[in-house]
Structure 1
Amino acid sequence: MRHLSTITKPEKSWKLITVFLGYDPIGRKHKLVSIPLNKTSDECRVLTLGSDQESWRMVKTNYNHRPLCNRISYECINGVLYYRACFDRKEDVIMSFDVRSEKFRMIKLKWDDFDGTGILITYKGRLACSMVDYADHGLSLTLWTLKDAERHDWSPINFPEAPYHPNDQRLKTAFSFSGITDAGEFVYVPSDFRQSFYVMYYDPKRKTRHIVEFKGIANDEFRLKHRLGNRRVFNIFTVPNHIESLTSLCNT
């Protein structure tokens, strides 16, 4: 829509916050969920975007927890927002937030905790947590998929042929796992880039891969404007299953 909105801070007493974006496919509403980041809390603030009264509301989470915030710490699947959190100051858990009913649930893990490379992704319409499998032949990928949130039921799927941190000597690029497309291809992105970069797709069934080059992201004009010089640009955000919307065309 190319429209920017300024959102007020939800709570003045909160010094550090994290904000998650959720979508309710039934009510067709987007909601922001804001939680304090530097302390444990049993409440949050919720804002419904596009409503007549755009104001933050206090919602009880019923669980005293602290979210673990980074760019790979949450997913929204079928109207449910999932994010990583620390419960009781020591236990790693997954928190879920039903965007429509605004109810929270704590989901326990079947493994001890996340390692530094684990991320939350969508796999075949379900929440999945990626983990590194330290096998004899190198780092492979294991996905723990959520079968039943109420029973904390997780099921592991191992992909021994899918490396977690592949290296391409020809391109001189080190890739890291970023997500999975609806077609089942694993997406790998570089940890940093300059004027151009590569994205690698791996098909675990066919055991094939293809590489796509992206050009002109951080060109000279971009670098001059943002005072980057020759420094590297970090954090490549990927949306594996992006779909272009034609809504604006239909409304004209």
Structure 2
Amino acid sequence: MNKKKMKMKMKVSYGDIFGGNDLILCDILSRLPVKSLMRFKLVCTHWRSVIKENKYLIDLHLLRSKSRGEGTKLLISSVLGRKMDLFFCDLFQGGPAIPLLGRKATDDDRNNIFDKTLMLNPVNGLICFVKPFEGSVLIHNPSTGYKTSWLETRTRKLMRDHDGQAVDTSRMRWGFGFGFDPATNEHKVVSVFETINTEQKISKENPYGLDVQNCEVLTVGVRNEWRQIDKNCTPGYIVGASVYVNGVIYWLDEHQKVHEVIMAFDVRSEKFSKVIVIPTFINNRWRDYPDNGGIQTIWIYVDLVEIDGHIALLERVDACSFSLWIYGGVNTSDINYGNWTEEKIKFPFDLWDSYDDYVSFEAITGTDLMIIKNFNQQTKFETLYYYNRKRNNIEKQVEIKGIYLDRDAVGLKFSTYVDSLMPVQGKLDPYVCYTPESRV
């Protein structure tokens, strides 16, 4: 071989390994975990561009991550603490918990940008953190380590005076929902801003005593800017964490402290599309409930969860059992009553001492398993129970070590999230304390 031909061969770039065909390259890369793809970004400029920006690869990788077991991880977060603690570990094996926010328990409070923060349910590889009384959100991809800055809503920005100081927000709150548009493969955040009337002037025209309501939507990765939507599409008083199912975001609607309906927001059309009425045989009942060795008559309330691609209501029956009401209605009208199917689940031991004790429930998509974490546990590790809904038994127990919890938190929430390359148009998180080699 002469020197001229050898020189020409040496000029072949890494991007030409597959004959310049990015489809072949994307097909191969989409089968790999994100930790490997983060290393492959160093191969050459072309590969870096493909891994970071190629929409075909990003969408294909998400699809394949959701279809393979190792693509799903277990996410562990603190609930209602002053500080946000976040870890992840193997979904079915447990083991050591790896911190995701890069903050040790002894870190200075001022250095934690996630203080006084809530986390919405993960959706297709991304996490949305919210500050309900500050009107801002932060989107984070725990697989790539990229996150946005805190993104203030338009209503929040309008409240600042000329000196840049915020006005009193004690009568204000922002409700948030996090979802995904399956038609465009884009994540969206919806914000519902409310000011509460101090005199609680409840009337037919204003059943919630609200002075103002305003709705905004943010499409993640598209300039990350909020935009106002139709004012006539505002819901009632939404409470609790949102639940995303098949292109729709759901919340419980609270009226006079009673959950009467479920509000639904269609991510594609960006409209509050329907109302699902909660039947009285599920919701409106009093019960004598064991409480710290005595009996207390309380109003039973429900939690909104997702089961097998359906929304469901989780109702505590006693300390060791609960009912799961699965909604099976067809969404053909604005007001929907639908069909509700009850599943009764009973444990061989108590899950909580008091009705107000926090207990974590999480269904694993594509399986019959539900993860349940009981409230009262005095051990050096956390024990999760994997309950099989079809066999009505505890299929396995998993132990997780290395979790430190803020002393003000009421408990731990367990969620599942999938490995993904989904972009957030943000910066690499400087607070993460793990390296690509430590990601699982």
Provide the rounded CA distance (Å) in 2 between the counterparts of 1:61 and 1:237: 35
Contact 1:187 1:199 in 2 (8 A): yes
Q: Does 1:2 align with 2:145?
A: yes
**Partner residue in 1 for 2:222:** 51
Is 1:101 aligned to 2:256, yes or no? no
Work out the CA distance in 2 between the residues paired with 1:239 and 1:138.
22
Q: Distance in 2 between matches of 1:62 and 1:168?
A: 40
What are the superposed Cα offsets for residues 42-84 of structure 1, whole Å, 9 maximum, x if unpaired?
531111111146233243353551111x3xx421111111111
Which amino acid counterpart does residue 107 of structure 1 have in structure 2? I
Please identify the structure whose Cα radius of gyration is greater. Answer: 2
Tell me if 1:81 matches 2:256.
no
Match of residue 60 from structure 1: 231
Q: Which residue of 1 aligns with 2:324?
A: 142
- 1:234 aligned residue: 410
Quote the offset at 1:190 in angstroms: 3.0
Query: CA contact under 8 A between 2:214 and 2:231: conserved in structure 1?
Result: yes
Q: CA offset at residue 11 of structure 1? A: 1.0
Give how far 1:127 is off: 1.4
Give TM-score, length-normalised by structure 1.
Answer: 0.74
Task: State the AA in 2 paired with 1:244.
Answer: D
Q: Which residue of 2 aligns with 1:216?
A: 402
Cα gap change, 1:192 to 1:89, in 2 (>3 Å) = closer
In the alignment, structure 1 residue 23 sits paired with structure 2 residue 180 = yes
Compute the TM-score of the two structures, normalised by the length of structure 2: 0.45
The structure 1 residue matched to 2:370, chosen from 164, 169, 186, is 186
Matched residue type, 1:44: C
Distance across 1 between alignment mates of 2:369 and 2:187: 28
| Greater fraction helix | 2
Once the two structures are TM-superposed, the CA of residue 216 in structure 1 deviates from its matched residue by 0.3
Match of 1:111 in 2: 280
- Identity rate, percent: 20
In 2, distance between residues paired with 1:205 and 1:178? 16
Instruction: Name the one with the larger strand percent.
Output: 1
Q: Secondary structure at the match of 2:226?
A: coil
Unaligned runs of 5+ in 1: none
Displacement of 1:108: 1.6
- Unpaired stretches in structure 2, ≥5 consecutive residues: 1-143, 160-168, 197-209, 285-298, 424-435
In structure 1, distance between residues paired with 2:267 and 2:359:
31
Kindly indicate whether the alpha-carbon contact (under 8 Å) linking 2:363 and 2:371 is maintained by their aligned counterparts in 1. yes
Structure number with higher relative contact order (C-alpha < 8 Å, ≥ 6 residues apart):
2
CA deviations 1:20-57 (Å, max 9, x no partner) are 11111111111111113553455311111111462332
Q: Verify the 8 A CA contact 1:74 1:81 in the aligned structure 2.
A: yes
What SS does structure 1 have at the residue aligned with 2:305? strand
Distance across 2 between alignment mates of 1:138 and 1:26: 42
Give the drift of 1:154.
Answer: 3.3
Distance 2:231 2:194 in 1: 16
Once the two structures are overlaid, the 10-residue window that deviates more, 8-17 or 197-206, is 8-17
CA shift, 1:188, in A, is 0.7
SS of the residue 2:269 aligns to: coil
